[in-house]
Amino acid sequence: MIKTIGKAIAGVMLVTAAMNSYASIDGMKVVLVQGFQAKDLDESHRSSKASQHGSYDKYLKWRAENEYWNGPWKGKADAFIWWDSKERVTGGIATDVKNQIKALSTNSNFKGKPILLVTHSTGDLVIRHALKKLGNWGVSTNNFKVVAVMDFAGAGGGTEIADIANDVANGSGAVNSAQKAAVKAFMGFTPQKGKLGVMTDLRPSNARSINSGSSAYPRFRFVGTGWAYAGATKPFLKGMDDSVVPLHSACMASSNGKYDSCSKSIANNGKIQSISKAPSSIWSNYYPILMGEKTHHGGAIGTQTGSQFATVNLSLIHISEP
């Protein structure tokens, strides 16, 4: 448990260092990994952006560097990893991420230097797959030297919105108007059958099957339970959530459940109290560090203010072993 607490303290220090005014963080190279972008599934959007930037891949790179990370992290980035939400985690996304990681591993500015990966949303799941495939991809961990991962609003356990989106796209008779409205509020349009891309991987049952379990790298997690989309998505997410990702996913609980906090003794606003609906265990080497009661999904990496934060007492969480 001493080792666990030591990593928890290290995580809090990383968060603190990351929020200071310096571009670098203790000499580490900071690589930002984006999350899901619904517009990638919209053919008219793809056509317009491809025409504007010369190709859609060029647009994806530009977006990661100029639009997605438009909050405090942008000024701390040494590199960005981008991917196309139209693809699948173990398919086209893996190919794009592999090529970018291999390029970084041979770049003299990154090769052999300590790297901090910072993910948002589905970037959590994308990097989980990538880090377990480095050897298969021919990437030396001595060259691509990841020391830790910071996951903001991590969707590593998926989201129930993806279940509903798949049902909407496939014309399930069980889908009601409120669910359709929630999906449209989140995506900006109604998804089409056969054009769901990574949303298929984000179904909780699918997400939890992709390289599940322990991590070889410490993964420090920031979670929120704020409101967005006028609350349209919240009724369909399991337990408390940030309007996109439920806590079972953001905390990286070992089991998919309805949770009110990552901790059995601390509420999301920092109040010390007994929490009956909290994970009994977390995947090994995953460490929920901070909870923000009013922080919504995008606010986790943006400029949202006014949230109340709580540090998680990891001594009261059982970290499951591999």
Instruction: Please give the pLDDT value at position 321.
Output: 38
Edge-to-edge strand ranges of the sheet holding 286-292: 79-81, 29-33, 114-120, 145-152, 219-224, 286-292, 309-311
Among residues 288, 130, 279, the alpha carbon closest in space to that of 216 is found at 130
In tens, the pLDDT along 84-107 reads 999 999 999 999 999 999 999 999
Instruction: Please give the pLDDT value at position 19.
Output: 45
Residue count of the chain, please give it.
322
Instruction: Please give the pLDDT value at position 174.
Output: 82
Which helix or strand (DSSP H or E) is residue 168 part of? helix 160-169
Instruction: Please give the pLDDT value at position 5.
Output: 39
Number of other residues whose CB lies within 10 A of the CB of residue 224: 31
> What is the DSSP pairing of strand 219-224 with strand 145-152?
parallel
| Cα–Cα distance measured from residue 235 to residue 178, given in angstroms and rounded to the nearest whole number | 9
Q: What residue ranges of the chain have pLDDT lower than 50?
A: 1-13, 16-23, 315-322
CB neighbour list of residue 242: distance below 8 Å, 6 or more residues apart: 153, 223, 224, 225, 226, 228, 250, 295, 296, 297, 299, 300
Among residues 152, 154, 155, the alpha carbon closest in space to that of 14 is found at 152
